[in-house]
């Protein structure tokens, strides 16, 4: 059952000094992203909260002691991603941490500004494009990391529906979310393969928060029923604990490229709650051919190519 019972738990106190580091955290105005930004700033990092709503971002930044600024970024718009990446490139010659945290879960059928199914577009194509546009700012930096916030939901989706990526024939919001989270892992592992083959200083790592009680769960089926939200809070990680997996993936000196961190407490054979440890993802998330096909399609859809 891991360190939750037999050893010392990894906590935010284990985050090493981050002085001098530049960290970009998407979707950091609430929930997991906010807690991630808070801890990184407390450890001395210069943190950029990259969010769609800059007013909410500014309100969040005001609650975090330290060097925290706000960058407008809508991951559902390739134009916004390119604009944000350009502004970040102008401001920073180097980036130490790019934490792709922002996402949506189980919304009604919607599309992004570019016509992509909302979950696939926001959770995968947006971070894919942003990473590709910023990666050369990380490549020369020793210890730099790209961190993807994935999910145990990657287990619910069998493969990638290349014949209907945008769910135009039919829409299942749970399966669509699973596909987007499987895409996060396929992307991370393929990025790591490309980085390691070029002997770059940057690594790609993934994390998942288990089931955490954040605003991301607002579209969960049944969540609107009386008492469900209260019950959910009793059987899920808090945002503070859920963010620990991301923080460990981003800062633990022992982390290696291509690893995956998440809660250690086993429920129904995989972690749902608890503090983070090195965990495993499904065999299909490590499917090299599937990852390469997804990479090619993602480049075609976004128009973004990578310097690796």
Show which residues are catalytic. 177
- Give the Cα separation of 33 and 280 in Å (integer): 23
According to DSSP, the β-strands at 260-267 and 270-278 are: antiparallel
Residue 236 in tokens: 């899920």
Rg value, the chain, Cα: 18
Q: What is the DSSP letter of 281?
A: -
Residue 12 Cα to chain centre, angstroms = 18
Q: What is the DSSP letter of 250?
A: H
Dihedral angle over CA of 173, 178, 184, 189, nearest 10: -160
- Give the Cα separation of 42 and 263 in Å (integer): 23
The length of the chain is: 308
- Give the Cα separation of 189 and 27 in Å (integer): 22
- Give the Cα separation of 124 and 299 in Å (integer): 12
Residue with tokens 């947006």: 126
Going across the sheet that includes 145-149, the strands are 68-72, 46-51, 22-26, 97-100, 145-149, 203-207, 260-267, 270-278
- Give the Cα separation of 165 and 253 in Å (integer): 37
């Amino acid at each position: 059952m891991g360190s939750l019972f037999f050893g010392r738990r990894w906590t935010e106190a284990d985050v090493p000094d981050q002085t001098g580091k530049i960290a970009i955290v998407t979707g950091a105005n609430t929930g997991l992203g906010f807690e991630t930004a808070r801890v990184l700033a407390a450890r001395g990092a210069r943190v950029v909260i990259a969010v769609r709503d800059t007013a909410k971002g500014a309100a969040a930044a005001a609650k975090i002691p330290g060097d925290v600024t706000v960058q407008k970024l809508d991951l559902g718009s390739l134009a916004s991603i390119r604009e944000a990446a350009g502004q970040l490139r102008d401001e920073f010659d180097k980036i130490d941490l790019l934490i792709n945290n922002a996402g949506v879960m189980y919304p009604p059928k919607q599309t992004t500004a570019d016509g992509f199914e909302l979950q696939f577009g926001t959770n995968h194509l947006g971070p894919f494009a942003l990473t590709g546009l910023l990666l050369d700012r990380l490549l020369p930096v020793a210890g730099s990391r790209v961190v993807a916030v994935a999910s145990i939901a990657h287990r619910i989706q069998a493969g990638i529906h290349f014949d209907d990526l945008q769910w135009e024939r039919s829409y299942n919001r749970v399966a669509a979310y699973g596909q987007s989270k499987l895409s996060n892992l396929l992307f991370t592992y393929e990025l790591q393969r490309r980085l390691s083959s070029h002997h770059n200083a940057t690594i790609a790592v993934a994390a998942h928060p288990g089931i955490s009680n954040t605003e991301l769960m607002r579209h969960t089926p049944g969540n609107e029923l009386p008492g469900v939200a209260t019950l959910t809070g009793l059987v899920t990680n808090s945002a503070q604990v859920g963010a620990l997996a991301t923080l460990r993936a981003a800062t633990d000196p022992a982390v290696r490229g291509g690893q995956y961190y998440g809660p250690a407490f086993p429920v129904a054979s995989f972690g749902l709650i608890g503090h983070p440890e090195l965990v495993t993802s499904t065999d299909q998330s490590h499917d090299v051919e599937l990852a390469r096909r997804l990479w090619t399609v993602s480049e075609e859809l976004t128009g973004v190519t990578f310097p690796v």
